Amino acid sequence: MEIQTIASGSKGNAYVISSGRSKLLIECGINFDLIRKALDFDLSEVAGCLISHEHGDHTAGVKKMLRTSNIKIYASEGTFSALNIPNSRQFILKEKSAQIIGEWIVLPFRTEHDAKEPLGFMIQHRNERLLFITDSYYVRYKFKNINYLMIECNYSEDILEQNVAERVIHPVQKKRVLQSHFSLENVKDFLKANNLSHLREIHLLHISEKNGDPGRFKKEIQALTGVPVYVQE
């Protein structure tokens, strides 16, 4: 399984996973023309697009994708209700109910974010499993046999506290960050709570420009796990 990060962060998110014959787009939070370009203008292998929740940095390109392609969109009922997408293009994902999308099996699960019905995804292709979690301050589940992990690492507690002390960010903004995003410390706790014996790659997503440090996060997670870690800097 190959993982391509097209964009990651508060300005927009879009990722592609590929089996070599089939692709899944995860999030459509940038101009769809940029996604099309990243795919070399060939959408023929894209089986569908998964949307985790309705916020603009995950959905900004959805309407153009609907107008200019035949890609099917998969999301929760709550997410669709917020996006106002035509019923004919809605493929509703239900928590803990597996969905077959071409060659892929997607198991959605609930995440914790200030959105209507946010989801994370366990994605399987043949015997390989990828776990995708973003925009969630807490993960209530443990997972087995993960080969690839794509997980938000938005901020670290010390950088956030320093930014509040130096008035780089407002205390109200700090509260929202704490209640809606996954920190470096949370990622470490999550990794310690799960069996990583089959893990091959970790991709850190949605790193905050102000409250994050990609180089540090990569170094610390790699030291903890011994697994190759990738970030978009």
- pLDDT by residue, tens only, the chain of 233 residues: 999 999 999 899 999 999 999 999 999 999 999 999 999 999 999 999 999 999 999 999 999 999 999 999 999 999 999 998 877 778 999 999 999 999 999 999 999 998 999 999 999 999 999 999 999 988 999 999 999 999 999 999 899 988 888 888 888 788 877 777 899 999 999 999 999 999 999 999 999 999 999 999 999 999 999 999 999 76
SS (H, E, C) the chain: CEEEEEECCCCCCEEEEECCCCEEEECCCCCHHHHHHHCCCCCCCEEEEECCCCCHHHHCCHHHHHHHCCCCEEECHHHHHHHCCCHHHEEECCCCCCEEECCEEEEEEECCCCCCCCEEEEEEECCEEEEEECCCCCCCCCCCCCCEEEEECCECHHHHHHHHHCCCCCHHHHHHHHCCCCEHHHHHHHHHHCCCCCCCEEEEECCCCCCCCHHHHHHHHHHHHCCCEEECC
User: Which pLDDT score is estimated for 233?
Assistant: 62
Class in CATH terms, 2-231? alpha beta
User: Which pLDDT score is estimated for 52?
Assistant: 97
User: Which pLDDT score is estimated for 3?
Assistant: 97
User: Which pLDDT score is estimated for 164?
Assistant: 84
* pTM check: above 0.85: yes
- Domain borders along the chain are 2-231
User: Which pLDDT score is estimated for 171?
Assistant: 82
User: Which pLDDT score is estimated for 114?
Assistant: 87
